[in-house]
A and B are shown apart, each in its own frame.
Chain A
Amino acid sequence: DTAVSQTPKYLVTQMGNDKSIKCEQNLGHDTMYWYKQDSKKFLKIMFSYNNKELIINETVPNRFSPKSPDKAHLNLHINSLELGDSAVYFCASSQWASGGPGTQYFGPGTRLLVL
């Protein structure tokens, strides 16, 4: 059973389009995240939702809008895609503990290429 799954795995689209990436976790975790990994492999957190509430929102353009319909799902919608949005987007989940976010369980990633 896949613990954290993302769809699609690959996404090629034109500049200016709007696209969505979906994420689901079956680990029973209470917190989900979106990360962006650029071509230099730098992994940077974008958003975090705890029990469906947004708790971390790093400096991300407002063209990016996360939505969490329930604790097991966190989707990412991107409006007006730009060339610089090309990257690998990882979804992750964890069980938030007293010491912080806890172990991150990552999905396989969505490779987005904007042409």
Chain B
Amino acid sequence: TQLLEQSPQFLSIQEGENLTVYCNSSSVFSSLQWYRQEPGEGPVLLVTVVTGGEVKKLKRLTFQFGDARKDSSLHITAAQPGDTGLYLCAGSDDKIIFGKGTRLHILP
């Protein structure tokens, strides 16, 4: 059974700090996606990474796909209260599976 483990499950930090969220699996995926979900809404795609070792940047967010395409990380620089939300990673191969998410809370 494919599993995606996300860590930490919860993270509460002060505005302006940096943080990293991890998504790990023992399975290889053809691509990996990161979504953000805000309360009362559905998840929204942030980025898709496809190539092992790939790094993508989205403003203050940096996403990296592991060389072996089994894991990924999301690094946020100078976190803002607007970054608060549930961050989900999803591995895609012949089907898609989601991690359990990291609940991020940025304190002003």
Contact = CB atoms under 8 A, between A and B. Distances in A.
Given A99-B92, A100-B30, A41 B100 contact: yes
Between B40, B42, B94, B100, the greatest number of chain A beta carbons within 10 A of the residue's beta carbon is seen for B42
Given A43-B88, A90-B42, A108-B41, A100 B96 contact: yes
Nearest to A107: B42
Interface size class of B (residues with CB under 8 A): 20 to 34
B84 interface: no
Contacts of B86: 41
B100 A100 contact: no
A108 B30 CA distance: 27
A113 B42 CA distance: 18
Contacts of A100: 30-31, 92-96
Interface size class of chain A, counting residues whose CB lies under 8 Å from the partner chain: 20 to 34
B50 interface: yes
A56 interface: yes
Interface in B4-58: 30-31, 33, 35, 37, 40-45, 48, 50
A92 B92 CA distance: 15
Contacts of A103: 33, 45, 48
A113 B83 CA distance: 29
Most buried by B among A42, A103, A108: A103
A32 B42 CA distance: 15
A99 B40 CA distance: 30
Nearest to B30: A99
A44 interface: yes
Contacts of A45: 95-98
- The list of the 7 closest CB pairs from A to B, nearest first, reads A106-B42, A100-B92, A99-B30, A101-B96, A43-B98, A42-B100, A103-B45
Given A43-B43, A108-B41, 18 more contacts: A40-B100, A41-B86, A41-B100, A41-B103, A44-B98, A45-B96, A56-B95, A90-B42, A92-B42, A99-B30, A99-B50, A99-B92, A101-B92, A101-B96, A104-B33, A106-B43, A107-B42, A109-B42
